């Protein structure tokens, strides 16, 4: 990742606007570390500075997603220029062009912009993408949404879409377990989960869970299917249990059934003569429409340090949401940024609370409107109002 190693610097006075971005604020060093707020056109993100053996490493903050590599590199270069510090080492040479993929979509697109009138298929954890690309080519009237948290795999499939002129496939590099929560009810025909990581020693990390299956049932249209394919007998038995815990279920079980296309994993396991299991769950319910109306604003203000101390002192873990405080970045005069995690256990979202100008807001943007993040927001609001009895 782009970074620069520079000499220690005097904290510059901000805001400062360069030709391309505005450096809006810088936190006072806390245990040698801090953040710098950057605005570039409509994007807001943070740079981090970290003390390393008497030098300062300037790099990206991973929580605030930075859409383009050159945007990040320029922010690092311009920030180093602003400090006037000696640069010992850097890897911020600009790329000729930032790659922009038409098939790449962020979550906002699915909240406001996706055409749900067309049939939709979703593939979770597509890896090499063979099955996803095959489906997109052989079913051109369907919109295919591929979810993959491994960025190099996502980029490979984006390149293939460009090379093969595929325009009915959207690639999203986001956790599928949160993603399903932002899709409209009854909008999806098929969900594929092929060869998920078994996580035998950490079952809470599995894609298939009660929460995921409940979400799948909500977004699947009546007659729509959730298809699990695995080589792990253990995962198959576990998933069978999760499906059978539903109030009603229509399930097809198959062993060693072969598909038109075989993934890289599948090829490897075929050579080892492993067994393959397919569990196909058919949704029989028409779900209530989902409303995505939400208000993530805050009323009330508590000085930054007071609130950060209160939240750091108690991790909030309820049965259906959690809130935890992480790093804090003071800006002085009772202002600051507090990194928090909030949302569902197993899939919390990380973001910042900004305490500035006697208001509190999310930075750089509000959480995704899942049920758990809305419940966590209400709790934070009660804490800010001084009406929290938890
Ligand atoms: C074992 S690989 C299987 C890949 C592919 N389906 C195949 O059959 O070759 C599992 C993939 O799921 C992805 N993955 C794991 N958890 C995920 C999640 N919560 N959301 C999206 N992708 C996920 C991993 O990055 C990995 O690429």
Of 107, 127, 209, best ligand 1 pocket probe by most atoms within 8 Å of the beta carbon: 127
Map tokens 């810088």 to a residue.
Answer: 26
Of 122, 124, 125, best ligand 1 pocket probe by most atoms within 8 Å of the beta carbon: 125
Q: How far apart are CA 66 and CA 3, in angstroms?
A: 14
pLDDT of amino acid 132: 98
Residue 30: band (very low, low, confident or very high) from pLDDT cuts 50, 70, 90: confident
What's the pLDDT tens digit per position in 224-245?
999 999 999 999 999 999 999 9
Rounded to an integer, the average pLDDT of 293-298 is 90
pLDDT of amino acid 17: 95
Of 196, 213, 262, 263, best ligand 1 pocket probe by most atoms within 8 Å of the beta carbon: 196
What's the pLDDT tens digit per position in 190-220?
999 999 999 999 988 899 999 999 999 999 9
Residue 136: band (very low, low, confident or very high) from pLDDT cuts 50, 70, 90: very high
Asked whether 131 and 158 are in contact (CB, 8 A), the reply is no
212 CA distance to ligand 1 centroid (A)? Answer: 15
Closest CA to 136 of 195, 177, 192: 192
Count of C-beta atoms within a 10 Å radius of residue 36: 25
Of the ranges 11-20, 138-147, 264-273, the best mean pLDDT one: 138-147
Asked whether 363 and 352 are in contact (CB, 8 A), the reply is yes
| Residue nearest atom 17 in ligand 1 by C-alpha distance | 125
Asked whether 332 and 26 are in contact (CB, 8 A), the reply is no
pLDDT surpasses 80 at 389:
no
Closest CA to 370 of 219, 218, 182: 182
pLDDT above 70 covers a percentage of the chain that reads 100
**Of 200 and 65, more confident:** 200
Map tokens 């009915």 to a residue.
Answer: 168
Which residues, judged by CB distance below 6 Å to any ligand atom, belong to the binding site of ligand 1? 124-128, 147-150, 153, 175-177, 194-197, 207, 263-265
Host H or E run for residue 165: none
Map tokens 């002129």 to a residue.
Answer: 165
pLDDT above 90 covers a percentage of the chain that reads 78
The two tokens of residue 266 are 């599948």
Q: Which numbered atom of ligand 1 lies nearest the CA of 347?
A: 19
């Amino acid at each position: 990742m782009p970074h620069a190693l520079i000499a220690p610097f005097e904290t510059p006075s901000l805001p400062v606007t360069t030709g391309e971005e505005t450096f809006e604020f810088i936190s006072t060093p806390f245990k040698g570390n801090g953040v710098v707020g950057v605005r570039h056109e409509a994007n807001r993100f943070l740079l981090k500075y970290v003390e390393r053996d008497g030098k300062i490493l300037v790099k990206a903050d991973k929580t605030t997603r930075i859409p383009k590599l050159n945007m990040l590199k320029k922010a690092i270069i311009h920030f180093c220029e602003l400090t006037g510090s000696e640069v010992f080492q850097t890897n911020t040479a600009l790329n000729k062009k930032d790659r922009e993929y038409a098939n790449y979509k962020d979550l906002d697109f699915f909240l406001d912009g996706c055409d749900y009138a067309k049939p939709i298929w979703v593939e979770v954890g597509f890896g090499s993408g063979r099955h996803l690309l095959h489906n997109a080519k052989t079913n051109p009237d369907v919109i295919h949404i591929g979810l993959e948290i491994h960025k190099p795999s996502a980029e490979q499939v984006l390149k293939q879409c460009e090379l093969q002129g595929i325009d009915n496939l959207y690639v999203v590099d986001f956790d599928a377990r949160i993603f399903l929560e932002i899709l409209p009810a009854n909008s999806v025909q098929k969900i594929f989960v092929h060869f998920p990581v078994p996580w035998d020693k950490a079952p809470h990390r599995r894609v298939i869970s009660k929460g995921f299956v409940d979400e799948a049932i909500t977004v699947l249209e009546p007659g729509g299917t959730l298809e699990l394919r695995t080589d792990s007998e253990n995962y198959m038995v576990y998933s069978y249990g999760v499906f059978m815990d539903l109030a009603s279920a229509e399930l097809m079980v198959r062993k060693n059934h072969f598909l038109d296309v075989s993934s890289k994993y599948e090829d490897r396991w075929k050579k080892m003569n492993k067994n393959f299991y397919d569990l196909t769950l058919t949704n029989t319910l028409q779900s209530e429409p989902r409303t995505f109306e939400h208000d993530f604003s805050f009323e009330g203000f508590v000085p930054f340090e007071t609130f950060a101390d209160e939240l750091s002192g108690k991790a909030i873990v309820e049965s259906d949401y959690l809130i935890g405080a992480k790093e804090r970045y003071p800006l002085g005069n009772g202002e600051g940024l507090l990194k928090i995690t909030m949302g569902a256990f197993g899939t919390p979202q990380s973001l910042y609370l900004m305490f500035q100008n006697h208001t509190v807001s999310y930075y750089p943007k509000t959480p995704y409107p899942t049920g758990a993040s809305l419940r966590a927001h209400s709790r934070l609001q009660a804490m800010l109002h001084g009406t929290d009895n938890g």
